[in-house]
Amino acid sequence: MRDSSRLSRRAVLGLTAAALPLSAAAPALAAPAATAIGGERLARRGLQVDGATAVPTKLLTARAWLVADGTTGEVLASFNAHQRLAPASTLKMLFADTVLKKFDRTEKYTVKDSDISDVPAGSSLVGIKAGITYTVEQLWQGVFLRSGNDAVHVLAHMNGGIAKTVAEMQAKARDLQALDTHVVSPDGFDHPGQLSSAYDLTLFARHGLRDPDFRGYCGTRVADFPAGGRKTFQIQNTDRLLTGAWGLKTYDGLIGVKNGYTSHAGNTFTGAATRDGRTLLVTVMHPVAGSNAVYEQTAALLDWGFTHGRAAQPVGALVKPLSEGGATASPAPAHGVGQAAAGAAGAPAKGPSATRLVEGAAGTAALLAAAGGFLLRRRRQGLAARAATGTRKPPAPRAAEPDPQEPPAPTDQGGGRHRR
């Protein structure tokens, strides 16, 4: 029996040949790349702004942010617009974009144990109980006001299940051209690989605000929620710029949209406000720790947009959905997923030259030929080790931690502590 750990001469030649076409294709890389989603400027790292001053950069500690005109779609300023980061509960905007119109708001549904048995431990909860009948409107109030993962899971099961809903959300993201977004769960809870960007979250908000129900839910401050029988308890929106909670003033003209917090994502927020007939959208992701920081920085960017932002020349645009005739564009280059962006403000992201790609192709071929035999010899050893120890499972998602200033939901009615 032949030793499968040895590379045949033909296999080595095949690996070498597989790397060589890179050098032949390298001259084409010098040609202009396809337009990135929203425009080439938005694919760059650092601050992007033209024609306007006084961007509050000293206050801004977020790893990514974006300011856009909600009517025209023009991006007035951005910082690492396409950096892929954990979205937390702001991903619920995409969930609403995907599922909201599937059920009439007056439709009633009696919750089963199986509808909420798969809600991740440590989730934010509005306090849904099996056996209680809710209207679809009440379920969406649970999603938007309390960021209830239990409400999300009930609606997802009504929609045919978690897997089906996740697949539909990913398809919706593709249609919206939110190509930085990878959906793992419908609720935004921490899962490995679940990512979005300031650009994509702003797309979700703009698309959602076109729907009167979406707009109404995200702008609702308080609502009465069923507790069983004829009893109810009051839930309050966790958007502090909307309610003025925890020492913050309400923001004049605020419409919504959605906030989020988990231990991995930190704080995220997309807000929209209207003044003098002009609507602005702002997304802020992962500011330096501080439970009010995401709101303070959003408010500062909205202030800038309503004043100095009037002089700004667009640095990009929020694109139209493909289903509405939007022109296709290529994804923005990755900025080092989950890592803070580096580089001077406004400087384009650095990349390898065509010459170095040619050199790299030749080096790749040599390395493949040299290392192939070693790797295959190690293969049998690895298989034996795994057989002895068992297959290693991926790490479980990190549980969300409560915002230290977030009040608990009323536990006597079954509400959970809010962890967005």
Distance CA 265, CA 420 (A): 10
The mean pLDDT value of the chain amounts to 79
pLDDT band at 331 (very low <50, low <70, confident <90, very high): confident
Using the predicted structure, report yes or no on whether residue 258 has a pLDDT greater than 60. yes
Query: Within a 13 Å sphere around the CA of 174, how many CA atoms are in the beta-carbon half?
Result: 6
Average pLDDT over residues 379-391: 41
Summarize pLDDT for 1-24 with one digit per residue, the tens.
444 333 343 333 333 333 333 333
pLDDT number for residue 160:
98
Q: Which residue has the higher pLDDT, 379 or 120?
A: 120
Average pLDDT over residues 251-257: 98
Summarize pLDDT for 338-373 with one digit per residue, the tens.
433 332 233 333 333 333 333 333 333 333 333 344
pLDDT number for residue 35:
63
Q: Which helix (H) or strand (E) holds 293?
A: helix 293-306
pLDDT band at 337 (very low <50, low <70, confident <90, very high): low
Summarize pLDDT for 27-47 with one digit per residue, the tens.
332 323 346 899 999 999 999
Average pLDDT over residues 100-119: 98
Average pLDDT over residues 195-207: 98
Q: Which residues contact 292 (CB under 8 A, 6 or more apart)?
A: 240, 246, 247, 248, 405
| Active site positions, annotated | 89, 92, 147
Using the predicted structure, report yes or no on whether residue 277 has a pLDDT greater than 50. yes
SS3 call for 278: strand
Summarize pLDDT for 55-95 with one digit per residue, the tens.
999 999 999 999 999 999 999 999 999 999 999 999 999 99
pLDDT number for residue 264:
80
Average pLDDT over residues 283-312: 96
The 3-class SS string of the chain reads CCCCCCCCHHHHHHHHHHHCHHHHHHHHHHCCCCCECCCHHHHCCCEEEECCCCCCCCCCCCCEEEEEECCCCEEEEEECCCCCECCHHHHHHHHHHHHHHHCCCCCEEECCHHHHCCCCCCCCCCCCCCCCEEEHHHHHHHHHHHCCHHHHHHHHHHCCCHHHHHHHHHHHHHHCCCCCCECCCCCCCCCCCCEECHHHHHHHHHHHHCCHHHHHHHCCCEEEEEEECCEEEEEECCCHHHHCCCCCCCCCCEEEEEEEEECCCEEEEEEEEEECCEEEEEEEECCCCCCCHHHHHHHHHHHHHHCHHHHCECCEECCCCHHHCCCCCECCCCCCCCCCCCCCCCCCCCCCCHHHHHHHHHHHHHHHHHHHHHHHHHHHHHHHHHHHHCCCCCCCCCCCCCCCCCCECCHHHCCCECCC
Summarize pLDDT for 235-248 with one digit per residue, the tens.
999 999 999 999 99
